[in-house]
Amino acid sequence: MKRILIALGVLLAIGVRAQSRDPLVREGAAIKVSPHVFVIPDDDVPLVANIGIVVGTRGTLVIDTGLGPRNGEAVAREAAKVSRGPELYLAVTHVHPEHDLGAQAFPAGTKVVRSRGEDADIAEFGLQLAETFAKQSPIRAELLKGATYRKTDIAFDGSYTLDLGGVRVQLLAVGPTHTRGDTAAFVEGDRTLFAGDVVMSAFPAFASPYSSVRAWLVALDRLGALDPQVIVPSHGKLGDKAAIDKYREYLQAVQSRTRELKRQGTSIDNAAQIVQAELQARFSGMAQPARIAGAVRAAYSEESR
C-alpha cells in the first residue's frame, strides 16, 4: 500500500507542475527527424507528450495522442497531412492520460495496438488518474470531459512488428518500468526510438506499484541493443544512445548503494534520504531529483526478494 501511495504522489506531482500552460498539442509544429519519422514536440509543457508519426507507403503509425479528444483530433489532423497510405495505426508508450486518452478522436478505421501490460493497467486503474487531473484546472477538466479508453485491436506480448510499406516498426513491451505496460517503438532503418518515459533527460519516475529497478535495467539493455541514433522521449528534448547509458549508470548506482545501506540495517526511509542526497549531487544535470526516492524504495523492496 505504501508503494501505491508513493507512486500516486509522483503522478500528482507531474500533474500540478506549471498549470499556467495549457496542455495542448501544437498543430503545424511537426518536425521531420528521420526519413520516415515526424515528431510534434511537447515544448516542455506539462501533460503534453512528444507525439510520433511514422509514415510508410501503405500506412501510418501515430505514437501517443495528447490529453483528451480535442488533442487527439489535432494529432489525427497532423498525421493526415503527411500520410501516404490508407492504413492508420495508433500505439501508445503507456496508458497515462496525456498519452492515450485522445485515442477516441481518431478515425473509426484506426487500429489501436497495445501491449498486454497496457491493457492490464487500463483494467486495474481505469480513469483514476484522469479524474485526478480533471480536478486540477478548468482546462484539464474540459480536455478530459467524456474521455475514455478506446478498445485494443491488436494486443501483443514481448514484441510486435508493423510493416507500413517501406518502413518497419518494432513495438516492444518493456515494462514494468515507469508503468507496468511501458511500450517502446523502434523505427528500423531510421534507427529512431520512441522510448516513452523509459529513457528521458529527467530522472526516471517510478510511477506504478509494479515499477522495478531490475526490470528497468533489463529494458535499457534491450533498447541499447537496438543501437538507436535518435531517441524520442515521452517528454523533453530528443536525445541519442548516450541517454540510455546515463539512465543505466544512474539506476545501477541506485541499486548498489541501496543494497549496501539495507545490508547495514538502514531503514527504507533513511536509505531514500541518503541516496537522494548523494545521487542528486552526482547527477546534477538531470531534472526532478525528488524522483530518486521512488527508485530507492523500489530497489530496497527488491532486495528482499
Residue 88, C-alpha cell as written in the block: 492508420
Please check the confidence at residue 76 and state whether its pLDDT lies above 50.
yes
- Using CA atoms, how far apart are residues 191 and 240, in angstroms rounded to an integer? 10
Please check the confidence at residue 239 and state whether its pLDDT lies above 90.
yes
What is this structure's pTM? 0.93
- Using CA atoms, how far apart are residues 144 and 65, in angstroms rounded to an integer? 13
Please check the confidence at residue 17 and state whether its pLDDT lies above 50.
no
Spatial neighbors of 198 by CB under 8 A, at least 6 apart, are 174, 177, 178, 182, 184, 204, 216, 219, 220, 223, 247
Higher per-residue confidence, 163 vs 6 = 163
pLDDT confidence bin for 304, thresholds 50/70/90: confident
CATH code of the domain made up of 2-241: 3.60.15.30
pLDDT tens digits along 181-211: 999 999 999 999 999 999 999 999 999 999 9
Please check the confidence at residue 2 and state whether its pLDDT lies above 60.
no
164 CB burial (10 A radius; 0-12, 13-18, 19+): buried
Please check the confidence at residue 106 and state whether its pLDDT lies above 70.
yes
Please check the confidence at residue 21 and state whether its pLDDT lies above 90.
no
pLDDT confidence bin for 305, thresholds 50/70/90: low
**Mean per-residue pLDDT over the chain, rounded:** 94
pLDDT tens digits along 241-278: 999 999 999 999 999 999 999 999 999 999 999 999 99
Please check the confidence at residue 4 and state whether its pLDDT lies above 70.
no
Q: Could you tell me if 152 and 114 are in contact, meaning their C-beta atoms sit under 8 angstroms apart?
A: yes
Q: Could you tell me if 182 and 176 are in contact, meaning their C-beta atoms sit under 8 angstroms apart?
A: yes
Domain ranges of the chain: 2-241
Q: Could you tell me if 199 and 247 are in contact, meaning their C-beta atoms sit under 8 angstroms apart?
A: yes
pLDDT tens digits along 124-177: 999 999 999 999 999 999 999 999 999 999 999 999 999 999 999 999 999 999
Q: What's the pLDDT score for residue 28? A: 96
